[in-house]
Amino acid sequence: MLLKDFKLVSILLLLTSISAWAQQSVSGIVTHSETNLPIENVEIFDKDSGMQAKTDASGYYQFETLKSELTIIFFSYEFDVYTVTVDLNTSKEINVQLKPLGVSLSEVELFARKSQVFELSRLKDVEGTAIFAGKKTEVVLVDQSMANLASNNARQIFSQVVGLNIYQNDDAGLQLNIGGRGLDPNRTSNFNTRQNGYDISADVLGYPESYYTPASEGLGEVQIVRGAASLQFGTQFGGLVNFKTKKPNPDKALELITRNTLGSFGLYTNFTSVSGTKNNWSYYGYFNYKKGDGFRPNSEFESKNIFAHLGYKISKNTAISGEVTYMRYLAQQAGGLTDTMFNQDPYQSNRERNWFQVDWLLYNLKFEHQFSETSDFSFSFFGLQASRYALGFRTNRVDQLDPGSERDLIKGDFNNFGFETRYLNTYTILDKDATFLIGAKYYNAKNDQQQGPGSTNKNSDFNFYTDAFPNYSNQSDFDLPNLNIAVFGENIFYITNKFSVTPGARFEYIKTQSNGFYKEVRLDGAGNPIYNETVYEDQNFDRSFVLLGLGLSYKGDKGFEFYGNISQNYRSVTFSDISIFNPAFAIDKNITDEEGFTSDLGIRGNFKGIVSYDANVFGLFYNQRIGLVQDVLPGGRIISKRTNVGDAAMYGVESLFDLNIKKIIGLNSDYNFNYFVNSSFITSQYNESDIPGIKGNKVEFVPEVNIKTGLRFGYKNLLGSVQYTYLSDQFTDASNSVDAGISGVIGQIPSYDILDFSISYSYKRFKLEAGVNNALDNAYFTRRATGYPGPGIIPSAPRNWYTTLQIKI
Q: Is residue 584 part of a domain?
A: yes
Helix or strand or coil: residue 416?
strand
Rounded CA-CA distance 785/802 in Å is 27
**For residue 175, what is the domain's CATH number?**
2.170.130.10
Choosing from 102, 117, 144, the residue where a domain stops is: 102
Q: How many CB atoms lie within 10 A of CB 174?
A: 21
In 3D space, the residue among 529, 667, 607 whose CA is nearest the CA of residue 120 turns out to be 607
What are the backbone dihedrals phi and psi of residue 15, each rounded to the nearest 5 degrees, phi first? -65, -45
**Any residues with CB less than 8 A from the CB of 358 and at least 6 apart, and which?**
211, 212, 327, 328, 329, 386, 387, 388, 389
Residue 224, classified by CB atoms within 10 Å of its CB into exposed (0-12), middle (13-18) or buried (19+), is: buried
* Neighbouring-strand partners of residue 43: 54, 75
- 496 and 597 in a single domain? The answer is yes
Could you tell me the strand order of the sheet in which 82-87 lies? 50-54, 43-46, 69-75, 82-87
Q: What is the 3-state composition of the chain as percent helix, strand, coil, each rounded to the nearest 5?
A: 10, 55, 35
User: 361 and 496 share a domain?
Assistant: yes
Which pLDDT score, from 0 to 100, does residue 538 have? 87
Q: Is residue 502 in some structural domain?
A: yes
* Nearby residues of 450 by Cβ (< 8 Å), 6 or more positions away: 409, 410, 411, 412, 464, 476, 477, 478
Rounded to whole angstroms, how far apart are CA atoms 351 and 361? Answer: 30
* pLDDT at 227 (0 to 100): 85
What are the phi and psi torsion angles at 232 (to 5°)?
Answer: -100, -25
Q: Where are the beta strands (DSSP E) in 17-111?
A: 24-32, 43-46, 50-54, 60-65, 69-75, 82-87, 96-98
H or E segment to which residue 461 belongs:
none
* pLDDT at residue number 35: 84
User: How many Å from the N-terminal Cα to the C-terminal Cα in the chain?
Assistant: 57
Please tell me the distance from the alpha carbon of residue 416 to that of residue 618, in angstroms, as a whole number: 35
* Residue 147: predicted pLDDT: 92
Pairing of β 24-32 and β 96-98? parallel
Which run of H or of E encompasses 204?
Answer: none
Whether 336 and 374 map to the same domain: the answer is: yes
Name 4's Cβ contacts closer than 8 Å, sequence gap at least 6: none
Residues 332, 477 share a domain: yes
CA 635 to chain CA mean position, Å = 44
Can you give the pLDDT at residue 260?
98
Contact between 462 and 389 (Cβ < 8 Å): yes
Rounded CA gap, 721 and 155, in Å?
13
The CATH number of whichever domain residue 267 belongs to comes to 2.40.170.20
Within this chain, do residues 275 and 189 fall inside the same structural domain, yes or no?
no
Give the number of other Cβ atoms within 10 Å of residue 533's Cβ. 9
The DSSP H or E segment spanning 219 is strand 219-225
**Domain CATH code at residue 89:** 2.60.40.1120
E strand or H helix that includes residue 514 = strand 499-523
Residue 583 backbone zone (phi > 0: left; psi -120 to 50: alpha; other: beta) = alpha
Q: Are 641 and 682 in contact (CB under 8 A)?
A: no
Q: Are residues 234 and 249 in the same domain?
A: no
Structural domain harbouring 481: 242-808
Q: Tell me: the pLDDT tens digits for 370-407? A: 999 889 999 999 999 999 999 999 887 899 999 999 99
Measured in whole angstroms, how far is the alpha carbon of residue 694 from the centre of its chain? Answer: 31
CA angle 598, 599, 600 (to 5 degrees): 140
pLDDT at 83: 86
Q: What stretches in the chain show pLDDT beneath 50?
A: 1-22, 103-104, 107-108, 111-112, 115-120
Is 18 among the domain residues?
no
Whole-number Å distance between alpha carbons of 197 and 408: 36
Residues 6+ apart with CB under 8 A from 538: 514, 515
Number of domains in the chain: 3
Listing DSSP states for 536-566 in one string gives EEEEEEEEEEEEEEEEEEEE-TTSEEEEEEE
Last-in-domain residue among 67, 102, 137:
102
What residues contact residue 252 under an 8 Å CB cut-off, 6+ apart?
A: 275, 276, 277
Per-residue pLDDT at 610: 86
The number of CA neighbours under 13 Å toward the Cβ of 630 is 17
pLDDT on residue 1: 41
Of 562, 659, 556, nearest to 616 (Cα)?
562
- The SS3 call for residue 532 is strand
Would you say residue 107 lies in a domain? no
118 belongs to a structural domain: no
In 333-407 the beta strands, taken as DSSP E runs, fall at 355-372, 375-392
Return d(Cα 654, Cα 702) in angstroms, integer: 13
Alpha helices in 566-699 (DSSP H): 575-578, 661-665
Supply the pLDDT for residue 580.
Answer: 57
Residues 586 and 516 in one domain: yes
Indicate whether 160 and 282 sit together in one domain.
no
Whether 648 is covered by a domain: the verdict is: yes
Burial class (CB in 10 A: 0-12, 13-18, 19+), 637: exposed
CA distance 378 to 317: 12
Among 218, 241, 264, where does a domain finish?
A: 241
Same domain, 268 and 329: yes
Beta strands in 226-354 (DSSP E): 240-245, 255-263, 267-278, 281-292, 301-315, 318-332
What's the rounded Cα separation, in Å, for the pair 374 and 63? 10
Residues 673 and 720 in one domain: yes
State how far the Cα of 440 lies from the Cα of 485, in Å rounded to an integer.
Answer: 8
What pLDDT is attached to residue 635? 56
In this structure, the answer to whether residues 207 and 250 fall within a common structural domain is: no
pLDDT tens track for 109-139: 554 455 443 334 788 899 999 999 999 999 9
Please report whether residue 14 resides in a domain: no
Smallest CA-to-CA distance from 191 within 571, 680, 702 is with: 571
Residue 10 forms part of a structural domain: no
One domain, residues 230 and 285:
no
